[in-house]
Amino acid sequence: MASRRKLKNTLKFVSSELITDIYFRCLMSKSIEDQKVENLVVEIMDLTHQFVLRANRPDGKDNPKIVKVYFRKLYSDWQIAMDKVIKDIEKL
């Protein structure tokens, strides 16, 4: 990512899209339990908050190599977490 601001905006945008998708599925299908929906939305919000906090405080801010590795790890961890959330959404 080019900047922390863009990274945080991307994290928030994807999270909001996933939450929108969950509520859209809930509106289209009456068989989805409200408790599952609420738990999933809270999980997405918590994950987003955790990753935004991690984006705010990179390790080794004076060494560009360490920062690059840190943000690559952050991004890969975020992708893994979002894949899990997407699979949970598909199970609804």
Locus of tokens 């894949």: 83
For residues 51 and 78, the answer to whether their CB atoms sit within 8 Å is yes
Q: Which two tokens stand for residue 43?
A: 């999980």
- Tell me how many domains the chain contains: 1
Per-residue pLDDT of the chain (92 residues), as tens digits, is 468 889 889 999 999 999 999 999 888 887 888 888 899 999 999 999 999 998 888 777 778 888 888 888 999 999 999 999 999 988 88
Nearest to 77 by CA among 52, 57, 59: 52
- In this prediction the pTM is 0.82
Task: Determine the structural domain holding residue 51 and report its residue range.
Answer: 4-91
| Residue 59 vs residues 8, 63, 75: alpha-carbon distances, Å | 17, 9, 14
